[in-house]
Structure 1
Amino acid sequence: MPGTAAPVTAKEPRFLAMLAALLAIFTAIFSSNLPTPLYAVWQVQMGFSATALTAVFAVYVFGVVSMLLTLGTLSDKIGRRQLLVPGILFITAGVLVFYFARDIYWLGTARILTGIGTGIVTGAASAAVIELDPDNNWTRAATMSALFFTMGAFAGPTLSSLALAFDSGASSWPFLVTLGLCGLTLVLLLTAPWPKDIGRRQKNFHFRDWRPTPVKVPRALLGAFAFSAAGICLAWSTGSLYASLGPSLARELVGVSDRAMAGLFAAAWQLTAGISQFACQRQPLDRLILIGPPLLIGGLLCLALAVISSSPVMFSIATLATAMGAGATGVVALAAISQVAPAEERGGIISAFYLMAYLTMATVVLGVGLVSDLIGFGNTVIGFTALISLAALTLLLVAVKTRRTSMY
């Protein structure tokens, strides 16, 4: 009848709540990656060293890790939305500090707040997306989470790179856009109807009884875990180089004079790695292990040649090749450990897996910064490519010799 509202279907509440959780993932990753192209600008304006720059990047990792170690299971107890809202509030606080930043201490504080918020949001939001899928399709839900993660990782540095291209308020208006995004996410989280049986606070839960779940790996799975952890550490170490120092590398060593273009290399790396992960999801692991590490090694060789010859073209090839290699290697690592981990211990094992990845990211970034101040940025990057290539080759030889991927 005219004027009669359409009936509300059972799936509509789930759709809005699922959209809120996905938007929370996008907002967290977007805000985390937004500053990447701006670090080189701040370094010039505020006058801090390469070590200090990488330290600012690394403290974000420690913020994420601290939440993984302490609050990883809390959303199971108090509800998904109840933890997502404070997570977004931490991210909002970090964005505000970035906006008003006047020195490196402000930048470090902003990164810590953003890291804490991201650590809170990603786990709770990913679990919520899986639970809220209207058809209980876990594969689709996981793919949607990964898609919004990749979109955020690409869109953040792209926006700030565009701001640099306009060369007006590059370190201010992108953060205003991010504040608007945080506000939209909060409104949707607070107003979207959630199904009564999903993500609610447990009736008998009391904060005084809650304890963080320890991160541990069963002794029987240490071999499989070491193989998978080595794979993800390889992938994330290369990604962290692009995320923290990619724009500086492009401008100082490769000869990309345009600041906006230099920033887009970090965005391109994230987008390519994300696309390659989607492309590799249905491929057998024994094939991917023969593709990922060799492609990563080839890309790292191109990166070294780009630095030696100051070639933007070679750097572009290196960006695409390392991203595709890291994406394929990361899929192997995650699939390998997920498939052997028993269901009752999978959460803790996966948390340990990501803990290794984040700690490797921080270690690599800090190490590159420290060594750069001693022997120079160019020599450090070339040494980095040699070290990671050797590690990737070792992983490949171990996989072939032990035929580890044939186990899955």
Structure 2
Amino acid sequence: MSGLSPANTAASHRHLAMVAALMAIFTTIFASNVPTPLYSVWQAKMGFSSTALTAVFSIYVLGVVTTLLTLGSLSDKIGRRQMMVPGLLFILAGAVMFILARDIYGLGIARVLTGIGTGIVTGASSAALVELEPDGNWTRAATLSALFFTLGAFAGPTVSSLMLGLGDAALIWPFAVTLILGGMTVALLLLIPWPADIGQRHPDFRWRAWRPTTIKVPREMLGAFIFAAAAICLAWSTGSLYASLGPSLATKLVGIDDRTKAGLFAAGWQLMAGISQFACKRQPLDRLLLVGPTTLIIGLGVMAAAVLYSSPWMFTLATLATACGAGATGVVGIASISNTAPADQRGGINSAFYLMAYLTMASVVLGVGFVSDMIGFAPTVLGFTSIISCAALALMLVALSSKRVSLW
């Protein structure tokens, strides 16, 4: 029986490498989101404030931003697999730290390690998928990346929510799952035959000549950049509320006593936002500029009503509406920056774009935690819904005044 031809062997290697890159994305985003339903459990067990809880969530951004500012383009030089493996080791170290954490400082260290790993893996694996796609189809590669990103964001909080009934073991087993996934992915990356002509170390690379990623936006692009960044920041602000305080909101303000169900709201939000992004990818931007922020405003209004009337049903509708609105608005930001960024400056512009998004996420969450300790959780959430609604309305008005969209 004859063996595979060289062409078939090369194709097989490509497919295996794509599977490994997709597993790296899934595992990383799973690990980033798995703590979401556990924050309120840690808060009750360790006795820290809402400000401290949101600080633990937000310090993750420190790890991601540090990576964006220093290692963002390094995989272009030393190779995709050579960056993914160390990044996953940071993810594994974060999972171990979560298991061992006995106070808020341990949780903070775990989040920083996870953030560093996330920043390293997502950039390198996304670039690898584009290069490994057999037909050079960038759209298909981006779709696969987004699909596994969404699946990881949904699976992480789902697993930890379902394990909340295990008592203290609920603070261990979700991270054991992370360790298993991470170990399998590292083994796959190390053992598979990686295509020799794709994503390898640049032959002329020298460490002494390497410089950190440049964060720069051309002056002539500032207007388009600010608009796109505003759209992605608006989308991520609501997502960060669900990821950090969503389960607490459900149990303390909406009347959902079951922590498992409360945690699943965060998972459901991630899933609906991902579905919304997929559904909106082929829609015209001018339509999304109206539909996205409008749906987000409606969802935030229903969220405010859910808090005022302690209604789980209203909170369910609010979760669906805000996720759909945020997903559509996020597509506006990503598409706007992709369509306007010059090819030779895209790396630095994209880094600046996501830097703004991550900093906004951290600022919003920290602000909500700090204010809720001062005036109470319910008034803070009502204030949040009002501020983000005004921001969404402002985005639409700017789009209309700048002729990015027309009502007729």
TM-score range, shorter chain: over 0.9
The equivalent of 2:231 in structure 1 is 231
Q: Is the 8 A contact 1:21 1:129 kept in 2?
A: yes
The equivalent of 1:216 in structure 2 is 216
Q: Letter of the aligned partner of 1:88 in structure 2?
A: L
Matches for 1:362-373 after TM superposition, within 5 Å:
362-373=362-373
The equivalent of 1:121 in structure 2 is 121
Give the SS at the match of 2:16: helix
Give the SS at the match of 1:257: coil
Counterpart-to-counterpart distance in 2, 1:348 and 1:165: 45
The equivalent of 1:19 in structure 2 is 19
Counterpart-to-counterpart distance in 2, 1:103 and 1:182: 24
Q: Is the 8 A contact 1:336 1:405 kept in 2?
A: no
Q: Letter of the aligned partner of 1:157 in structure 2?
A: P
Give the SS at the match of 1:9: helix
Counterpart-to-counterpart distance in 2, 1:213 and 1:95: 28
The equivalent of 1:203 in structure 2 is 203
Matches for 1:25-44 after TM superposition, within 5 Å:
25-44=25-44
Give the SS at the match of 2:253: helix
Structure 1 residues 165-174 or 150-159, which shifts more? Answer: 165-174
Structure 1 residues 43-52 or 206-215, which shifts more? Answer: 206-215
Counterpart-to-counterpart distance in 2, 1:175 and 1:243: 17
Matches for 1:102-251 after TM superposition, within 5 Å:
102-167=102-167, 169-251=169-251
The equivalent of 1:345 in structure 2 is 345
Q: Letter of the aligned partner of 1:171 in structure 2?
A: L
Q: Deviations over 1:359-400 (max 9, x none)?
A: 000000000010010000100000000000000000001111
Matches for 1:257-336 after TM superposition, within 5 Å:
257-336=257-336
Structure 1, unpaired ranges of 5+: none
Q: Letter of the aligned partner of 2:164 in structure 1?
A: L
Counterpart-to-counterpart distance in 2, 1:49 and 1:162: 25
**CA drift at 1:6:** 5.3
Structure 1 residues 289-298 or 168-177, which shifts more? Answer: 168-177
With the length of structure 2 as denominator, give the TM-score of the two structures.
Answer: 0.97
Q: Letter of the aligned partner of 1:12 in structure 2?
A: S
Give the SS at the match of 2:212: coil
Give the SS at the match of 2:217: coil
Counterpart-to-counterpart distance in 2, 1:116 and 1:142: 22
**CA drift at 1:5:** 5.3
The equivalent of 1:375 in structure 2 is 375
Counterpart-to-counterpart distance in 2, 1:80 and 1:399: 38
Counterpart-to-counterpart distance in 2, 1:117 and 1:277: 25
Structure 2, unpaired ranges of 5+: none
Counterpart-to-counterpart distance in 1, 2:212 and 2:104: 32
Give the percent of matched residue pairs that are identical in Structure 1 and Structure 2. 70
Q: Is the 8 A contact 1:242 1:266 kept in 2?
A: yes
Give the SS at the match of 2:290: coil
**CA drift at 1:98:** 0.4
Give the SS at the match of 1:169: helix
Aligned length: 404
**CA drift at 1:10:** 2.5
Q: Letter of the aligned partner of 2:192 in structure 1?
A: A
Q: Deviations over 1:50-83 (max 9, x none)?
A: 0000000000011101101100010000000111
Q: Letter of the aligned partner of 1:154 in structure 2?
A: F
Give the SS at the match of 2:215: coil
Q: CA RMSD in A?
A: 1.1
Give the SS at the match of 2:211: coil
Counterpart-to-counterpart distance in 2, 1:131 and 1:19: 13
Q: Is the 8 A contact 1:73 1:213 kept in 2?
A: yes
**CA drift at 1:165:** 3.6
Q: Letter of the aligned partner of 1:378 in structure 2?
A: A
**CA drift at 1:256:** 0.4
Q: Is the 8 A contact 1:33 1:153 kept in 2?
A: yes
The equivalent of 1:253 in structure 2 is 253
Give the SS at the match of 2:198: coil
Give the SS at the match of 2:59: helix
Counterpart-to-counterpart distance in 1, 2:299 and 2:119: 30
Instruction: Give the direction of change, closer, same or farther, for the CA distance of 1:188–1:405 in structure 2 (3 Å limit).
Output: farther
Q: Is the 8 A contact 2:10 2:195 kept in 1?
A: no
Q: Is the 8 A contact 1:291 1:325 kept in 2?
A: yes
Q: Letter of the aligned partner of 1:109 in structure 2?
A: I
**CA drift at 1:213:** 2.2
Moved over 3 A (4+): 4-9, 165-168
